[in-house]
Amino acid sequence: NLSLLPILLQSSILALLSTSLPLIMTLTSTFIAVSRSGELIFDPAARIVEKAASLHVLAFSSLGDLLVAESEGTFDMDIWDQVYAMAEKHCRTLDPGAPARMADVDMESSKSASLEDSLKGIIEGKAAREYRWKES
């Protein structure tokens, strides 16, 4: 099932990070459905997935490289280009110098923050908690 792939990818990265393994890069992934009318739907519900014309999973490294591009269904290159742009927007921080915007999850701000920003916030929060004893 293609809809499980982003969950598995994100879970594996978070598991590696929770063990404090040093990683050169991380990844973020997303799941996008394209309706029969051509509408792109980010993180679609199961009933939308069943009726979708095509489904797409894309994952990007923290360096900006496309790591995974899995698709199923009927689509053309114009649709795929739109899917790619939407996935990149949701996954990547397009301004690499920008600070992480999500140290704490806020449902309103999470709509505008990228998944990469969320991951940076999680890592920063974990590091702060683990090194708190040094400040005492």
3-state helix, strand, coil in the chain (%, to 5): 45, 20, 35
**pLDDT tens digits, residue range 34-46?**
999 999 999 999 9
pTM of the model: 0.74
**pLDDT tens digits, residue range 47-91?**
999 999 999 999 999 888 999 999 999 999 999 999 999 999 988
**Confidence band (pLDDT; 50, 70, 90) for 107?**
very low
Residue 103 reports pLDDT greater than 60: no
Task: Give the per-residue pLDDT at 117.
Answer: 78
Task: Give the per-residue pLDDT at 67.
Answer: 95
- What's the mean pLDDT in 13-39? 89
Structure tokens at 63: 């360096």
- Map residue 108 onto helix, strand or coil: coil
More confident residue, 108 or 125: 125
Q: Tell me how far apart the alpha carbons of residues 28 and 7 are, in angstroms, rounded to a whole number.
A: 10
Q: Tell me which residue of 101, 95, 29, 97 sits closest to 61, measured CA to CA.
A: 29
Look at the alpha carbons of 117, 2, 84, 42 in this order and tell me if their dihedral is positive or negative. negative
User: What are the two backbone dihedrals, phi and then psi, of residue 50, each rounded to the nearest 5 degrees?
Assistant: -60, -35
Across the beta sheet with 40-42, the strand order is 40-42, 27-34, 54-61, 66-73
Beta bridge partner(s), residue 42 = 32
